[in-house]
Amino acid sequence: MMNNIEKIKEILVEISTLLIKGNYPDWGNIFIKFSKEIESDPEFIKSELSKLYGGMGSFNDIVLYEDRKPLIDENDRLYFLRTQLFELINH
């Protein structure tokens, strides 16, 4: 059975892939960085991730696009992963 840190890491990697595909490479790189650091300092990384969820221009506001068209399936997946991640880092 996967522990929370492994699950968070898996979600971070998938989110980074979606963000890069959806034309948010800077955001994608942030999530790659966090996926590499989560095991060494999980409480700090969880705290940093929590900060990404609030305010204008936050992680919650991202909509993935390609050629000025929203990526429906990818946005649905991102919404699901974003929710899962939030629950994991806050419990």
Cβ-in-10-Å burial (0-12, 13-18, 19+) of 48 comes to middle
pLDDT of residue 5: 95
Question: Which helix (H) or strand (E) is 70 found in, with range?
Answer: strand 69-70
> What does each of the 91 residues of the chain score in pLDDT, given as a tens digit?
468 999 999 999 999 999 999 999 999 999 999 999 999 999 999 999 999 998 888 999 999 999 999 999 999 999 999 999 999 999 8
Tokens of 58: 């936050």
Q: Domain tally for the chain?
A: 1
Q: How many residues does the chain have?
A: 91
Determine the pLDDT at residue 54: 87
Residue 61 belongs to what domain range?
4-89
Q: Which region, left, alpha or beta, applies to residue 68 given φ > 0 means left and ψ of -120 to 50 means alpha?
A: left
Specify the pLDDT at position 2.
61
Task: Note the pLDDT of residue 1.
Answer: 46
pTM comes to 0.93
